[in-house]
């Protein structure tokens, strides 16, 4: 199973405070785009939102977002000036109708990088500042608008499965060992875990902390499942 966004108005969000350490974390998910990005952002960039942490009433004050960018890679953008458009995965790593696994890790020293499919294609994203906005919700498949005064848009058309958020800088071995396994919700330092096993309903369940995503009618459940080889890992 996986969750699918329709690319026009589908999104999800958390209402409670996300429990994730902005100093050192790892975010992992399987992703399958169904189209190229279409949203025209600031400065002529074309991108669709994947996952972000922002507040719709004050998104210019330190929001951050991961996008499906025009170069078909994942980019990171922060609304604070000076942190726009940093690539965190290789160009061409997003392919329509193909599942790929992405693990974005951020270290206490600001180092950033993405492992694609367990490290087959590792990308060093350099040093990035991640805002500490613990009181802000997460948003799925919807981005803040880059147009001053504009409405929030940039909806992702595609599927996601097995979203994991860790309060640690995961090692290369940990990422490679467990990216193709369903893990235990009791794994050490696992802050939030969304297997996305649901088949109906308007909630994506967090098995660790209960920080569920509420989804709207533009999201739907798909029987398309990421290519796991093993079930029941511990991590």
Domains and CATH numbers, the chain: 2-222 (2.60.120.200)
Phi, psi (rounded to 5 degrees) for 144: -65, 150
Mind listing the pLDDT tens digit for each residue in 152-185?
A: 568 999 999 999 999 999 998 999 999 999 899 9
User: Is-contact 235 190, C-beta < 8 A?
Assistant: yes
Task: Identify whether the C-beta of residue 145 lies closer than 8 Å to the C-beta of residue 139.
Answer: no
Residue 149 scores a pLDDT above 90: no
For residues 126 and 212, the model is more confident at: 212
pLDDT at 53: 82
Mean of the pLDDT values across residues 132-155? Answer: 68
Token pair for 16? 């409670």
pLDDT of 148 > 90? The answer is no
Q: What is the pLDDT of residues 64-107, one digit of tens each?
A: 778 787 778 887 776 655 455 566 777 788 899 999 999 988 88
Which token pair is 213?
């995503």
pLDDT over 60 at 141, yes or no: yes
Alpha-carbon gap, residue 95 to 98, rounded angstroms: 6
User: In terms of Cα–Cα distance, which of 88, 69, 66 is closest to 77?
Assistant: 66
Of 163, 197, 190, nearest to 179 (Cα)?
A: 163
What tens digit of pLDDT does each residue of 14-40 get?
986 767 877 789 999 999 999 988 876
pLDDT at 76: 74
Instruction: Report how far apart the first and last C-alpha atoms of the chain are (Å, whole number).
Output: 21
CB-neighbour burial class of residue 222 (10 A; exposed 0-12, middle 13-18, buried 19+) = middle
């Amino acid at each position: 199973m996986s969750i699918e966004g329709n690319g026009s108005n589908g999104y999800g969000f958390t209402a409670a405070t996300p429990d994730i350490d902005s100093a050192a974390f790892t975010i992992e998910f399987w992703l399958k785009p169904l189209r190229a990005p279409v949203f025209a952002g600031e400065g002529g960039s074309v991108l669709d939102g994947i996952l972000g942490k922002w507040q719709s009433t004050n998104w210019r004050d330190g929001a951050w977002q991961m996008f499906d960018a025009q170069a078909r890679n994942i980019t990171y953008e922060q609304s604070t000036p000076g942190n726009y458009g940093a690539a965190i995965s290789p160009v061409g790593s997003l392919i329509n109708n193909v599942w790929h696994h992405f693990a974005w890790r951020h270290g206490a020293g600001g180092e950033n990088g993405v492992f694609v499919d367990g490290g087959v294609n590792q990308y060093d994203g350099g040093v990035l500042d991640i805002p500490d906005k613990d009181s802000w919700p997460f948003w799925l498949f919807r981005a803040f608008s880059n147009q001053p005064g504009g409405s929030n848009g940039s909806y992702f058309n595609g599927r996601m499965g097995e979203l994991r958020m860790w309060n640690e800088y995961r090692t290369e071995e940990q990422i490679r060992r467990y990216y193709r396994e369903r893990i235990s919700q009791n794994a050490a330092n696992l802050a939030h875990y969304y297997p996305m096993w649901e088949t109906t309903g308007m909630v994506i369940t967090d098995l660790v902390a209960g920080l569920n995503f509420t989804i709207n009618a533009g999201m739907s459940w798909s029987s398309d499942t990421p290519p796991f080889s093993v079930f029941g890992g511990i991590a």
